[in-house]
Amino acid sequence: MKINGIKEISYQGQSVDVYLDVEFDDETMIRWNLVDPVVQMVYATQERLEMDYMELIDGGLIVHSFELSEEEIRQIDEYVKNNNIMDKIQSQ
């Protein structure tokens, strides 16, 4: 998986949705019939900001049964840390 960048940050009252533009290898794209995959990370903002869950979205719909690998999750966590996404969320 390749992370191309932040596609959108959306504030939803008690949560914040962060959308990452991602690319997968051709085999994964074909097998899962992906066209425009995006990883959605949902952060709860009730007491303190923390990630609630993440999932793969394509064409605005959840890709059911798709599970990110441990390596992909590590890659996303690293991207969040290296690109100060938490600071970007809190500064708006």
| 3-class SS string, 30-84 | HHCCCCCEEEEEEEECCCCCEEEEEEEEECCEECCCCCCCHHHHHHHHHHHHHCC
Mean pLDDT of the chain, nearest integer: 93
Domain that holds residue 23: 2-90
Average pLDDT of the segment spanning 20-47: 95
Q: What confidence tens digit (pLDDT) does each residue in 49-77 have?
A: 889 999 999 999 999 999 999 999 999 99
Q: Regarding beta strands 15-23 and 50-58, do their DSSP bridges make them parallel or antiparallel, or are they unpaired?
A: unpaired
Closest CA to 89 of 60, 54, 48, 37: 48
pLDDT (average), residues 23-28: 97
* CA 54, 74, 9, 58 torsion-angle sign: negative
- Whole-model pTM: value is 0.90
Position 23 scores a pLDDT of 97
Q: In percent, how much of the chain has pLDDT > 90?
A: 79
CATH number, position 41? 3.10.450
Tally the domains of the chain. Answer: 1
